[in-house]
Amino acid sequence: MFKAAYHLRSPKRRETSVVFASPHSACDYPAAFLARTLPDALAMRSSEDAFVDRLFATAPDHGAPLLLAGAPRAFVDLNRSADELDPALIEGARHHGHNPRIASGLGVIPRVVAGGRVIYDGKLSMQEARKRIDHYWRPYHAALTAQMDAAHKAFGNAVLIDCHSMPHEALDGTVRSGSRRPDVVLGDRFGASASREVTERIEAAFTDAGLSVARNTPFAGAYITQTYGRPPRGRHAVQIEIDRALYMDERSVTPNANFEAFAAVMADVIARLADIGRPVQMPLAAE
């Protein structure tokens, strides 16, 4: 149905252990898929991280790979475990205790898009769910694993920047009176998926660019950071959520007047993020 399970934009020369990946920015909705869904194409896009692929497009210019999803989040969610199947949507799926993501309709095969709007009129077969996982979920994660392994082998460590965006309203009620509203939320699972040094350097890249940053509230990281972040093994993963209002009109899902200016800010941030994984060059000893 989709042209590819993922798209990998590789640098001419790999110069850093940092890997950039965007699991939710795919925006291809074939007519055959939309014919089966209740929301229209614009409503379906409300769940995607629109334009995040463009915001991080300069990563290969700094010696880092950029991995992009080929299928949209409404079709298969790459930031969920393959076994997070929703019994309310998938025929034959079993209950595995209380899972808030599945309960809210956001399993590996989503039941709803943003705002709780139901995607399908009825259930999907287990065979179809497995087909989506086998054809799109598994290849994406195989590619991400390969990129992390290659970084670790070449540099002795690997740093995953898991790139996302968040609705502006997601922070409503989380900001203290008189405090600046965060532009970016970093999720390192409260220190479990990345070392303090890595998270601090990521935060500094954004704050030095004039952006306000919060950590782990309300987004601490999901399946990807939990799976790929193993700090004791030299593998770090941090989820980045960027306020969509900074660069897009959320109602029309179009870039706003600030898009190009914000993309330029992000280009500088990405250069700083790539520097985190560059080998340290020791100064030459004096004669």
Residue spans of the domains in the chain: they are: 6-71+138-275
Q: Choose which CATH entry (3.30.70.1520, 3.40.630.40, 3.40.50.1970, 3.40.640.10) describes domain 6-71+138-275.
A: 3.40.630.40
Q: What is the pTM of this model?
A: 0.94
Q: What angle do CA 189, 194, 195 make, to 5 degrees?
A: 125
pLDDT the model gives residue 98: 81
Query: 176 is written with which tokens?
Result: 């203290």
What's the 3-state SS for the chain?
CCCCCEEEECCCCCCCCEEEEECCCCCCCCHHHHCCCCCCHHHHHHHCCCCHHHHCCCHHHHCCCEEEECCCCCCCCCCCCCCCCCCCCECCCCCCCCCHHHHCCCCCCCCEEHHHEECCCCCECHHHHHHHHHHHHHHHHHHHHHHHHHHHHHHCCEEEEEEEEECHHHHCCCCCCCCCCCCEEEECCCCCCCCHHHHHHHHHHHHCCCCCEEECCCCCCCHHHHHHCEHHHCEEEEEEEEEHHHCEECCCCEECCCHHHHHHHHHHHHHHHHHCCCCCCCCCCCC
Give the C-alpha separation, 73 to 246, whole Å.
22
Q: Tens place of pLDDT for every residue, the chain, 287 residues?
A: 788 999 999 999 999 999 999 999 999 999 999 999 999 999 999 999 999 999 999 999 999 999 999 999 999 999 999 999 999 999 999 887 788 999 999 999 999 998 899 999 999 999 999 999 999 999 999 999 999 999 999 999 999 999 999 999 988 877 776 678 999 999 999 999 999 999 999 999 999 999 999 999 999 999 999 999 999 999 999 999 999 999 999 999 999 999 999 999 999 999 999 999 998 744 444 43
